[in-house]
Amino acid sequence: MDSIHIQGGVALQGKVLIQGSKNAALPVLAATLLTNETSFIRGCPRIADVYRMVSLLKSLGCRVSWEDGGIRVRPVCVCEGEMQGEAITGMRSSLCLLGAVLGRCGEIVMEHPGGCVIGERPIDLHLAALREMGVVFSEGNGKLRAVSPEGIHGARIRLPMASVGATENILLAAVLAEGETLVEGAAREPEVTALCRYLSDCGAVIEGIGTGLLRVEGRCGEALRGADFAVPADRIVAGTYLFGCAATGGNVLLERAPCDQMEAVLHVAEQMGSRCDGTREGIYVQSPRRPRLPARLRTAPYPGFPTDLQSMALAAMTMGEGSCLIEETIFENRFRVVEPLIRMGADIEILDPGRVRVRGVSRLNGREVEARELRGGAALVLAGLMAEGQTRVRGVDFINRGYENICKDLRELGARIVSV
C-alpha cells in the first residue's frame, strides 16, 4: 500500500471501536525492561511504531510474543549494548528506552531518535534531567552513549516545560535508582499516568500520579515484578474520528473513547456545533451539516487541547461557517498540512510560524496530496472525506505509525475509502 483513495461527500454514520493508545503502549512496553518477570500488556495497537518497539525489545534480550488481546514480554538476558539503528531513527518514542535501559543496565548506546518532522523536538530536557541523576553522555559518529559510572541516584528535578518524553524517561530511570526522585513540572498527560500505573502494578512506589509533582522512591537493588496491564483507548484516534464526524455532518458512536481524557477536545467540538454525549459505550457524536468555527483554538499541554489533534481540527474547519485563529504552542512545524489543504481549496492564511487563520469555504476539491507526518496525514484523510471528487493521499507509512487501519475504521462509518 502506498496511497489512500477517498471519494468524498459522505456523512459518517455508525459506530467504530477505538484502538489502544499508541502513546501509552510504547513507554509501558519500554518499562517491561525494568522487571525480571513476564508482563502481559493488553490492548496494544497493531501499528508500525509498536512493531518497531517489539523488535527493539527482542534485540535487547526480551522474549516477546503477540497473543490474542495483547503482547507478552519477558526480559530474559537484558544487558547494555548498541540498539538497532533503523528502528531507533524511525521512531521518536524509542527515546523512552533511554531511561529504561539505563535503569536496568546503567549504560546504553543508541542513534539519535527520529520520527515525524514536526519541529526541532530537542532532547535537551531528557539529557539535563538524567545528568542530575548521575548519567554521563557523550556523542560520536552520530550516536549517543549514556553511562552512569556510580549508578543512578535520585534527584530533585524541575522541568522548565511539561515534557511528556522527559517525564517518562525520568520515571523509568528513577524507579530502580538509589534514593528519592522528585519531579516538579511533570507532564500530566494520560499516557504518563498510564506508565505510572503500570510501574505501580509492578511494585514501584510513585506518589502524585496525575499531577505535576511526582515523587518516586527508588528500589535500588530490587527488581520489579511483572504485571497484567491494559492500555487505555487512544484519545487521539478517538479525536480524529470525532472531527471526521464534525467535518462531514455525521452521527457516530466512538466505542471505548476515553471521555474523561478528552474534555478540551469535546469543548471545541461542541463549539463547532456537535453534540457530544459520554455513555457507557464511549462517546456519541451528532454533528450539523456544516460546522461552526470558534473564534480561537490554542494548543496546550494536557488538560489543554492536544497538539496531536490540531491538524484534524484545522481540516474539519476548512468547510465551516466563519473564521478561526489557530495557535500552535507546542511544536513549531505543525502547519505543514496547510499547503495541501490550500491546494484542495481551503482558505488558510499563515500569520506567523505559530498561528494561522482559517476561513470556511463552501467546497473542497479532491486532489493528490502527500502526508509528511503522522497527524497531518490523518488530517488530509479527513479533508478527503469532505472534498468533492476523489482524493489520493500518499505517504501512508506515516499514517500507519498511529492508526491500526484507518481505512477499515472509516469504511465502517460509511466512508468510501480504500488503501491501494
215 and 316 housed in the same domain: no
Domain span including residue 343? 3-19+233-419
14 and 109 housed in the same domain: no
Question: 116, 196, 245, 259: which is the annotated catalytic residue?
Answer: 116
Q: Are 299 and 328 contacting, i.e. CB atoms less than 8 angstroms apart?
A: yes
61 and 149 housed in the same domain: yes
Q: Which of 323, 327, 326, 247 is nearest to 287 (CA)?
A: 247
242 and 324 housed in the same domain: yes
296 and 166 housed in the same domain: no
* C-alpha cell at position 150: 556510580
35 and 137 housed in the same domain: yes
Report how far residue 328's alpha carbon sits from residue 310's, in angstroms, rounded to the nearest whole number: 8
SS3 call for 376: helix
SS3 call for 100: helix
In sequence order, the 6+-apart residues with CB closer than 8 A to the CB of 252 are: 12, 13, 14, 15, 16, 241, 242, 244, 245, 284, 285, 413
Helix (H) or strand (E) holding 170: helix 164-174
Report how far residue 343's alpha carbon sits from residue 375's, in angstroms, rounded to the nearest whole number: 18
Residue 116 annotated to the active site: yes
194 and 114 housed in the same domain: yes
342 and 250 housed in the same domain: yes
Where does residue 221 rank: exposed (0-12), middle (13-18), buried (19+ CB within 10 A)? Answer: exposed
Report how far residue 272's alpha carbon sits from residue 265's, in angstroms, rounded to the nearest whole number: 11
Return per-residue pLDDT of the chain as tens, 420 residues. 689 999 999 999 999 999 999 999 999 999 999 999 999 999 999 999 999 999 989 988 899 999 988 999 999 887 655 554 443 444 455 687 899 999 998 888 887 654 444 344 468 899 999 999 999 998 888 778 889 999 999 999 999 999 999 999 999 999 999 999 999 999 999 999 999 999 999 999 999 999 999 999 999 878 899 999 999 999 999 999 999 999 999 999 999 999 999 999 999 999 999 999 999 999 999 999 999 999 999 999 999 999 999 999 999 999 999 999 999 999 877 899 999 999 999 999 999 999 999 999 999 999 999 999 999 999 999 999 999 999 999 999 999 999 999 999 999 999 999 999
Domain count, the chain: 2
User: 230 — phi, psi (to 5°)?
Assistant: -105, 125
